[in-house]
Homo-oligomer: A and B are copies of this chain.
Amino acid sequence: MISFCQFGAGRIGAIHAENIARHPDARLHAIVDVDPAAAERLASRHGAVVATQAEVLADPAIDAVVIASSTDTHAELVEAAARAGKAVFCEKPLDLDRRRAEACIAVVAECGVPLMVGFNRRFDPHFARLERQLRDGRIGRPELLSITSRDPSPPPLAYVRVSGGLFRDMMIHDFDMARWLLGEEPVEIYAAASVLTDPAIGEAGDVDTAVVILHTRSGALCQISNSRRAVYGYDQRVETLGSKGALKADNVAESTVVFAGADGIVGDKPLPFFLERYAEAYRRELDHFVDALTRGTPPAPGGDDGVKALALAEAALQSLETRRPVAL
């Protein structure tokens, strides 16, 4: 039985808390949040207590922490928890700054505690199934990989301003997917981007539409395409070509119901956003973390994966600014 403390009682925190609470081998002991009322609500829903950071890190009964607080607190909390000997699950990103993230995982390495970074998409049943078939050689080595990610609508400007920008906030998931599916590291990246969905995003110094090409040593090529607006819902697709065929994982529709009417054959839209689309992925992600702790094996994706995805995001930004491909 793994005893957890969770930092953060917001939207994503609610999901992790429920997944801990329902896990037969885990126990949600405490919630820490800057907003005591939010902490109290979430704690009471799952029979946990509200505590301070100092209390939980000093408590030997706590085995592991889940860090689902705001991004600017991640690196510090990871380090503090590692120093207190706790196993750490940290939502992505470790930090908006790659060097800070590198320093952070160095601390974790010194402390010798397990660290898992929340790249939830690796646990989506559809993408996981595709990845397994890819690993099993069903299509041979991947030669072309195409990843499409589109949010249903742009985030609030307040969020945009602290998000670290589209590459660090949104495409970082696709960078992790690319590394995971390609099975090798990109050696070069080129990015192009525009402000097309909301001029205010541009005024805030960010972009809302972007495409990227990644190049690997073996010659495999990866295309990533992001948009902050897809009125038909959350668009999350992956497609890869190899010498023996192609594998594709498509969107998950709200239902299989199809209406055939005078204006066409109408199917349901994809599940609206990440909470719905990745509900099962969040469950399996937490299961994997608990399972790894229970067996004493390293959880994955780890801190290194977090840093490498960040490095790709930084390089994409540099490519955009210099209008040149960037070697990695």
Contacts and interface: CB of A to CB of B under 8 A. Distances in A.
Nearest to A190: B190
Contact of A130 (B22, B257, B263): B257
Contacts of A252: 256
B213 A211 contact: yes
Contact of A262 (B125, B245, B255, B267): B245
B260 A264 contact: no
Give the size category of A's interface with B. Answer: 35 or more
Contacts of A325: 190, 192, 323-324
Given A129-B257, A144-B225, A241 B230 contact: yes
B220 A194 contact: yes
A231 interface: yes
Interface in A295-328: 323-325
A321 B235 CA distance: 34
Interface in A230-265: 230-232, 235, 241, 243-265
Contacts of A215: 192
Interface string A176-212: 0000000000001010111111000000000001110
Interface in A131-156: 133, 138-139, 143-144, 146, 148, 150
A160 interface: no
19 contacts: A126-B255, A126-B256, A143-B209, A143-B227, A144-B225, A144-B227, A146-B146, A146-B225, A190-B190, A211-B221, A211-B223, A231-B244, A232-B264, A232-B265, A245-B260, A245-B262, A247-B258, A251-B256, A265-B266
Interface of A: 22, 125-126, 129-130, 133, 138-139, 143-144, 146, 148, 150, 188, 190, 192-197, 209-211, 213, 215, 219-221, 223, 225, 227, 229-232, 235, 241, 243-269, 323-325
5 smallest CB-CB distances across A and B, nearest first, come from: A194-B219, A245-B261, A232-B260, A250-B256, A264-B266
